[in-house]
Structure 1
Amino acid sequence: MISRGKKIGRFMAVAVLSGSLFAGSPAMAIDLGDVLKDVAGVAVGGFVIDQIAGPINDFINTITFNKGAKVEGHTKVVPIVSLGSGTRIGAAQVAGPRQDGVAKVKAVAAIETTFRDRFRVKILVPVDSVNPLQRFVRVQGVGVSAVIDFKL
């Protein structure tokens, strides 16, 4: 019998690989099929992250408490959707002093760019939409407290 953790890990690996296959195909113009693939990848990745968000959030809170860096407020784990060259998905813990602000966050939009050709800049924005490809509004009073990567 495969443990629940291994099942989630395998499912997440398939979802990440599926999303990277969708995002990695070159295109000369924006195609409705490409947009639908991106949306599907975000949806599958978001579902996987929703399934493991609680245990990851508890783990991060335990580690930060043990290291004397506990968040004085509310936290939760949400998907990160990277916008730029291809669509990618990961996870982040968001934190804020008010529960209602944290509850509004549905994802973190990661916007990557360069500054003066020498600095790579990744901007992490807590947003109110699980699909920042469609539209989003920044959630004020909430920040990113951790970034979660999944090893394939």
Structure 2
Amino acid sequence: MLKGKKAIIVAAVLGFMAGNMVSVPKADAGGVLGNIGKAVKTGGIVWLVDKYGNELNTFINKLTAKYPVSDSYATKVVPIIAVGSKGYVGAAQISGPRALVDKCKGALALEGDFLNRSFRVQALIPVDSIDPSHCTRVQGVGVSAKIDVAI
């Protein structure tokens, strides 16, 4: 787990994002301020994943090693960029052969619903860029864990 200065930094960044950037004035909800807020939140999560990804990856690997479900593939934690009715960011652990894992820069989450909203579907796809408009799938790599951030 995060301790000391790291925990304070994470709490401060997440607190700033939750308290200041989530509440965009309604008159400008889709305008410049809304786009700036989205960019800051996305950049903040990407920065946190970049900064603490190795620690998260080690934690997940230790967690799965406690059960007969761990594997011998290379793993890495990357940002998730969700595309659907509303954009979200988060993190995921990807798994696969080392050369392919090294190519991955993020995971694209495609969201939708099925059977009159009875099922919510989220397809998690390892990709070579965190820009959803300019990314391609990295074949041979899978998503092995999803990380949520409490705010």
TM-score under structure 2 normalisation? 0.82
* CA displacement at 1:19 relative to structure 2: 5.7
Partner Cα separation in structure 2 for residue 9 and residue 65 of structure 1:
26
Partner Cα separation in structure 1 for residue 27 and residue 112 of structure 2:
20
Whether the aligned pair in 1 keeps the contact of 2:75 and 2:95 (CA below 8 Å) is: yes
Partner Cα separation in structure 2 for residue 128 and residue 15 of structure 1:
29
Structure-1 residue corresponding to 2:82: 82
* CA displacement at 1:26 relative to structure 2: 8.3
Q: How does 1:20-99 map to 2 (within 5 A)?
A: 20-21=22-23, 34-96=34-96, 98-99=97-98
Whether the aligned pair in 1 keeps the contact of 2:10 and 2:48 (CA below 8 Å) is: no
Partner Cα separation in structure 2 for residue 35 and residue 100 of structure 1:
35
Whether the aligned pair in 2 keeps the contact of 1:77 and 1:92 (CA below 8 Å) is: yes
* CA displacement at 1:16 relative to structure 2: 4.6
Whether the aligned pair in 2 keeps the contact of 1:15 and 1:44 (CA below 8 Å) is: no
The verdict on how the C-alpha distance between 1:71 and 1:26 changes in structure 2, with shifts beyond 3 A counting, is farther
Matched AA of 2:110: I
The number of equivalent residue pairs is 147
* CA displacement at 1:128 relative to structure 2: 0.8
Gaps of 5+ in 2: none
Gaps of 5+ in 1: none
* CA displacement at 1:150 relative to structure 2: 1.6
Structure-2 residue corresponding to 1:8: 9
Partner Cα separation in structure 2 for residue 116 and residue 106 of structure 1:
33
* CA displacement at 1:85 relative to structure 2: 2.6
* CA displacement at 1:12 relative to structure 2: 4.2
The verdict on how the C-alpha distance between 1:86 and 1:26 changes in structure 2, with shifts beyond 3 A counting, is farther
